[in-house]
């Protein structure tokens, strides 16, 4: 497949996204090729480590390929999207639960579906160009591909802040928030990958790591915890409006643009996930409840139309007054019964 290069080199199973002109956006076929390789390598004693990288300077992976999702969904065919998300989420779980080290090198944009491929492994490497984000609420979805797990585990209320504002994280912030592990300048990556291929030992990565240039999130943590602690989206919006500080005003702006239903569901999911029972499968199950319904009952198709297709940036969201009733959130997150996400066992 020209969009992806999968091979075994020495001790390493190697996956390289090569769809450079499309910012390495993930197609369904790419997801399935990665999944098949990981299944095979899990029981292959010659493969000691998996290394995932991407060609081009601009992006590791700027997300899932949503053109086909839009094309099928607008014709009333919701099955393609539901199958895409189901199988993609199974792949995300496989990476998270993988029995061997999984190393990812995340240059440029790592967004949405790219987080699902690149941020669930054991060793997640960022560099000077890295920008990681979960921008889904801007297109009528929720942070998915297991992203809600990372957001729920982030310090304080950082998960709500990043999930609602779709804020981009450079290297230090990505490490602080739990999306990455080590900062290593990109010029060192080829030599490290060669060494990983030779002996399959990821310990060299910690030894090569450097201090990342200063981030901003840690210094903002107090404000974030104070302003994003509400039980619901409505609570958060009220606090931001009443606060009136420069930080609150800045944080409010993306919340005025993004899908109210998506943001409200994001808050609810994070609150449900936090606690001792949090697992990748629980996160993906909740995410799938929303994405399964997102074309038929959510804002997804309208979000894609406004941001990607027509590019008018004027989405006509449900609950445009930002007052999302609790029952609307509950309906998007109800169990799916026979259609619930399942995980194939090895």
Residues with a catalytic annotation lie at: 64, 113, 136, 144
Residue in this structure with the two tokens 């061997």, named with its chain if needed: 100
The CA distance from 236 to 191, in Å, is: 46
Give, in order, the Cα–Cα distances in Å from 317 to each of 139, 165, 320, 323: 10, 16, 5, 12
| Residue 289 and residue 333 in contact, taking contact as beta carbons nearer than 8 Å | yes
The CA distance from 32 to 212, in Å, is: 34
| Residue 52 and residue 15 in contact, taking contact as beta carbons nearer than 8 Å | yes
| Residue 165 and residue 159 in contact, taking contact as beta carbons nearer than 8 Å | no
**Nearest residue to 148 via CA among 267, 270, 291:** 270
What dihedral do alpha carbons 138, 273, 159, 299 form, nearest 10°? 10
Q: What is the DSSP string of 264-301?
A: HHHHHHHHHH-STT--HHHHHHHHHHHHHHHTTTSSHH
3-state DSSP assignment of residue 109: strand
3-state DSSP assignment of residue 4: strand
> Other C-beta atoms within 10 Å of 68: how many?
14
- Between CA 342 and CA 346, with CA 343 as vertex, the angle to 5 degrees is 150
Token representation of residue 26 = 């993930």
């Amino acid at each position: 497949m020209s969009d992806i290069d999968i091979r075994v080199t020495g001790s390493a199973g190697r996956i390289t996204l090569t769809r450079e002109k499309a910012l390495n956006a993930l197609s369904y076929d790419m997801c399935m090729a990665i999944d098949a390789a990981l299944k095979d390598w899990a029981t292959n004693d010659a493969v000691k480590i998996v290394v995932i990288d991407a060609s081009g300077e601009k992006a590791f992976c700027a997300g899932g390929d949503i053109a086909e999702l839009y094309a099928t969904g607008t014709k009333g065919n919701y099955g393609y999207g539901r199958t895409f998300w189901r199988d993609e989420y199974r792949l995300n779980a496989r990476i998270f639960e993988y029995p061997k080290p999984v190393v990812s090198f995340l240059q440029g944009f790592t967004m949405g579906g790219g987080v699902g491929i690149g941020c669930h492994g054991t060793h997640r490497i960022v560099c000077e160009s890295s920008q990681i984000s979960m921008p889904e609420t801007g297109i009528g979805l929720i942070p998915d591909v297991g992203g809600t797990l990372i957001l729920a585990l982030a310090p304080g209320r950082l998960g709500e802040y990043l999930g609602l504002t779709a804020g981009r994280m450079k290297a230090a912030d990505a490490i602080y928030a739990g999306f990455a592990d080590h900062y290593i300048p990109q010029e060192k990556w080829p030599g490290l990958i060669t060494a990983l291929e030779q002996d399959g030992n990821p310990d060299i990565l910690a030894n090569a790591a450097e201090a990342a240039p200063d981030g901003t999130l840690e210094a903002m943590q107090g404000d974030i915890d104070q302003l994003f602690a509400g039980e619901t989206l409505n609570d958060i919006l009220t606090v931001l409006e009443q606060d009136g500080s420069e930080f609150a005003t800045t944080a409010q702006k993306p919340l005025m643009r993004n899908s109210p239903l998506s943001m409200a569901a994001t808050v609810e999911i994070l609150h449900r996930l936090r606690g001792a029972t949090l697992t990748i499968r629980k996160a993906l199950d909740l995410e799938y409840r929303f994405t399964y319904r997102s074309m038929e009952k959510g804002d997804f198709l309208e979000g894609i139309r406004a941001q990607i297709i027509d590019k008018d940036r004027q989405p006509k969201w449900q609950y445009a007054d930002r007052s999302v009733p609790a029952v609307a959130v509950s309906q998007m997150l109800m169990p799916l019964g026979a259609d619930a996400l399942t995980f194939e066992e090895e």
